Amino acid sequence: MTTNIRPVQEKDLPQLHHMICALAAHHGDVPDINPSHLARDVLGTAPWFHVLVAAGERDCLLGYTALLPRGQLQTGVRGMDMHHLFVRDAHRGSGLGCALISAAITHCKNLRCQGITVGTHPENADAAAFYERRGFIRRDGSNPRFLMTLDQPPT
């Protein structure tokens, strides 16, 4: 199966909305996002979230990652937090999550970020191990947080 990882487009919003709601339900959250707010937050000249989607045949979305900017104004350090990483059940274990992470890293490097972070639920040892195998390093704290340094000099 050919998969194209690319920035989200307006035509993707219904499928993206469905996946966001599925991820929320998986975590026991009640989704409260509507299509107009989703469009506001992921499209336009200055999106709040940077969303990359994995599109299969006929632009059927198989997964996505959503990145949220973070930084330290006093040091000029820029980064992104991987707020969501989602792969549809039928495509888990296929390498799609790894491909989305790789695309997210490339996206962050293109934005001259120095790092990318991600968090997991404290009891989700499988997710923690997955991120560590990808090169993320566990940070201290009460909730599991992971950091990957991207070796990008501040500009």
Domain assignment present for residue 155? The answer is: no
**Confidence (pLDDT) at 113:** 93
Tens-digit pLDDT profile for the chain (155 aa)? 578 999 999 999 999 999 999 999 888 888 889 888 999 999 988 899 999 999 999 889 999 999 999 988 888 889 999 999 999 999 988 999 999 999 999 999 999 999 999 998 888 888 889 999 999 998 876 667 777 788 755 55
Q: Which amino acid is at 37?
A: H
Specify the number of domains making up the chain. 1
Cα distances (Å, whole numbers) of residue 100 to 16, 32, 90: 15, 25, 16
Domain assignment present for residue 59? The answer is: yes
CA distance 151 to 155: 12
Which domain covers residue 89, as residue numbers?
A: 4-149
Domain assignment present for residue 81? The answer is: yes
Domain assignment present for residue 154? The answer is: no
Residue 26 belongs to domain with CATH number: 3.40.630.30
Domain assignment present for residue 16? The answer is: yes
pTM of the complete model: 0.89
